[in-house]
Structure 1
């Protein structure tokens, strides 16, 4: 063991990652770790200290976020210059290696070197911007610290959100249109709470669809009915048949970037689906949490403003940590949607609304989100380079890929084989009804919390699996 690390746990009494952090800080203070010096790779230091890689990765990540360390893609982790510490000017930095901490604890030693279950955004400076704004708010919180949230107090946040949303597929958004939620999933739940009526209401979804639709519906004791799709999304005739048979009240859909197949619904098909909704008199909820680039055309809120609801969040473009989402209703029903939020949780915490009021209009944010999208494009291209010989479905502006499996692989067996290779992927079974037949396919989320080299190695391991189907599967 290198002598600098020998006493890492000598006087440690708390979590091991904290002992690693303290040892690095002490090494910098004493000069044992000089500015610009490269720290050992995560695996190497974990081996030296006899701890899990996730523990080291957590220590490196926390110090990188504070500006104490500087992580460079493909090169490693270095001691940052003194003038960069406690700031997030290290805009292009990201940890050399880390576990995806959700849903697993980074200290749990779960063995997933690359977790592709859910997207993980790169850290390109947005954390530093958030810390800076939170620091300003903490000194003089505009909404105070001793009051319940109020509609007037959150007005600046709604105004900022309206500006942020108006660049999307929904057209002009007024401050009074915006209902703030605790993330996109909460926004989805609020819409269903507002719309659904009766003892056993029916929610329509695509036959492959975001699992959160089903979970939200089940919370409200609603029945979920899947509707067949083709290469352009929902089939209008099938939608009309399902809506009439089940007396459906709402359709939940993602027309811009369908999760998980990445199907895009073109304008003519959207209009046909709107015509069905009007004939059968059901509402449309458009989930646009994953779409991160310019829209191809008007969304349902513009095509059918009298019956269209819209939800999105900052989780796929800025950070999922803040749990900030937005919901829009048909204008004559905005008051109902607002009441669902106010009666459910009184309002978003005032420090968060104060933060949103500044963050979403900060002139630096656009450049940071552009960097986020640029990094995602790099990771998507890396996956395409490795897996492009298979039936990979991808878009450069969306942080996941859809992979139909070759003959010889079933989804469950492939997921298990990938886990054995240290890569966690998501089976198509997660996106269908429990009693439905799922295609043999997997979704690969972009995890930009690991280095591009680490991600590329994971793609190569998946490619090797795809090229060698399990002998246990009958072809």
Structure 2
């Protein structure tokens, strides 16, 4: 190994750490350093080359980030094995193999994303985080420390019509639900505030409101989402402070709210000084209309996350306030939890800023679209609301079925899905419908079999309607 190390570095232009990295890179390429070879300790090589230990450490870090080296705590730095496409493919398939072998059920409760390369990329980013400056693991987070992470979110959201946006407007949250709670903490005032939601809506709206002692009131909806006339009627009878909506992808119906309807909602909200909280967590494709933050910059709040497009495991989301309320939202986060753990923030920064991530997101969306296509092919004879880039389908049940009875019958077939009752308020009425979420953890063949079993149930309702 000593043959690759001269007594001094060559007199070339450029930083010394790049010269060290180039020498090691060339030695690996020329097979002078074999896989598993141990490199000299940082201080030893620095002494030999008459450079600082920090210079050598930086060269090692660069090559570790490239995957040419790997470091083992307490043992040293070694030449890493080359990446294997075959091994990566094995990892990508393992999720399917484990579930196919050990779990006879197919869960359609919540969308489950396929692995389109994000697992390997997250592992790679985790390795980079593990080599970061020790201060990342020892210090309390500060606002300035999160600027690179917040900027990566701004770049990630750059194609979304949110209105003027800088890193100062981004508040990092522990997923979308935490973002909702944070916005409610910032907005709601008084001992018994009131929040409006659509008659059928994401149950997390209700739970976040209840945590803030709020009364949650349902508003009628139609094929375009929340009904402005009904909203105005409720506002004339209450002092509601906020309304929660999901105009791009309404959960659970999949309804998309067109621009004209959004403008009507904004008009009512302005006349009654109502804050508009937009939950954008289920959107996987491009936004089709301007967000409420763009349409009503003085009262539009936006919540999103990476859970439905990259991974729900990291629990990373973002909340964005109207321009003049950004400081209030930041204060709620700082008083509540100071901020994300810095290693998690750095991991997310690396993930969102990696040029491969957008392609992975596109591949996830495409694969989820394959599951949607299978569902529509199997159940297309029934009343469905669907879109190719929405990770669930809303099924209005045919005559003879009630949602609760159908959900129980499906569960006996080994298929778990959500009844419309789970999205209705406690005193509200639910239609005879179910939400079918796409499950990218199972093979397409197994998923298709589940859809055909659902079709057989739909074709054969019970003779007596049960409730």
Q: What is the TM-score with the length of structure 1 in the denominator?
A: 0.78
Q: Deviations over 1:300-328 (max 9, x none)?
A: 11110000100000000000000000000
Give the superposed CA RMSD: 2.1
Structure 1 position 328 matched with structure 2 position 320: yes
Name whichever structure is richer in helix by fraction.
2
Tell me the equivalent position of 1:186. Answer: 178
Tell me the equivalent position of 1:400. Answer: 392
Structure 1 position 364 matched with structure 2 position 369: no
Q: Give distance in 1, aligned partners of 2:104 and 2:303.
A: 32
Q: Give distance in 2, aligned partners of 1:140 and 1:213.
A: 38
Tell me the equivalent position of 2:337. Answer: 345
Q: Deviations over 1:385-432 (max 9, x none)?
A: 000000011110010000010111001100000000000000000101
Tell me the equivalent position of 2:270. Answer: 278
Q: CA deviation at 1:297?
A: 1.7
Structure 1 residues 156 and 383: alpha-carbon distance in aligned structure 2, compared to 1, 3 A threshold: same
Tell me the equivalent position of 1:164. Answer: 156
Tell me the equivalent position of 1:209. Answer: 201
Structure 1 position 225 matched with structure 2 position 217: yes
Q: CA deviation at 1:295?
A: 1.5
- The within-5 A match list for 1:27-38 is none
Tell me the equivalent position of 2:53. Answer: none
- The answer to whether the 8 Å contact 1:91/1:123 transfers is no
Tell me the equivalent position of 1:267. Answer: 259
Which stretch shifts more, 238-247 or 203-212?
A: 238-247
Structure 1 position 199 matched with structure 2 position 191: yes
Q: Give distance in 2, aligned partners of 1:169 and 1:145.
A: 36
Structure 1 position 420 matched with structure 2 position 418: no
Gaps of at least 5 residues in structure 2 are: 1-80
Larger radius of gyration: 2
Q: CA deviation at 1:96?
A: 2.9
Q: CA deviation at 1:292?
A: 1.2
Q: Give distance in 2, aligned partners of 1:308 and 1:298.
A: 11
Q: Give distance in 2, aligned partners of 1:423 and 1:275.
A: 43
Structure 1 residues 173 and 230: alpha-carbon distance in aligned structure 2, compared to 1, 3 A threshold: same
Tell me the equivalent position of 2:84. Answer: 84
- The answer to whether the 8 Å contact 1:271/1:303 transfers is yes
- The within-5 A match list for 1:102-113 is 113=105
2:367 to 362, 375, 391: 375
Structure 1 position 236 matched with structure 2 position 209: no
Tell me the equivalent position of 2:143. Answer: 151
1:302 to 294, 303, 313: 294
Tell me the equivalent position of 2:95. Answer: 95
Structure 1 residues 394 and 242: alpha-carbon distance in aligned structure 2, compared to 1, 3 A threshold: same
Q: Give distance in 2, aligned partners of 1:373 and 1:474.
A: 37
Return structure 1 stretches of 4+ with deviation > 2 angstroms. Answer: 81-100
Structure 1 position 291 matched with structure 2 position 283: yes
